[in-house]
Amino acid sequence: MTNNQKIALGLVGGAIAALLFCAFTKDWFANRNIYGGKTKVGLRSVTTCGSYTGSETCDTQSLDEYFGRWRKSNDAIDTWLTASSITFVGALISVAALLLVGVFGVMRHAKVGLAGKLTLLILIVTILGAILILAKKPPGLNASWGVFLFMAGGMAGVIGAYMLTNPSTYVAVERDPDIPKL
């Protein structure tokens, strides 16, 4: 196995970890509410801590429950809810596809080309879904670290899958035997 293949597998492994973690985290968007508590929004749920009574309890609701009351006044909420669902499912499918590409890449299987191209397509659609989530975010919420880690994981997956799929596009550098090893 060449160094470039090891790098590609490292990128794929990092992408798998980042995508899985970000699919289930509640830190895609965050904001302090007017009562001093914090609201955290993920792809599947919303957690709100603190209230007007001063209690420090946290309440978790699904996205539909939390944003349902805004649907009539804001048309972008439906688009955002749909994009978050597509991104969540896309992240899980991307993880499965990246695992397949990684296994085929290690085994140097002939099917790695087809699996890699399919994975690239799935990852690009998933990243576009995350960009749509950023563009249509609910009012009053700011992007948090989960969005950016998801994007970085998606790009690492694209690069790693591309490297495993197209080994001829990069050059494996061999060590010159005349140069002493340090």
* Cα gap 67→78, rounded to integer Å: 9
Give the residue extent of every domain in the chain: 3-29+69-168
**Could you tell me where the beta strands, DSSP code E, fall in the chain?**
29-32, 38-41, 45-49, 58-62, 142-143
Backbone phi and psi for residue 143, each to the nearest 5 degrees, phi listed first: -60, 140
pLDDT tens-digit profile of 10-65?
Answer: 998 999 999 999 889 888 887 766 556 778 888 888 888 776 556 667 888 888 88
Could you tell me the pTM of the whole model? 0.76
Strand partners, 143: 29
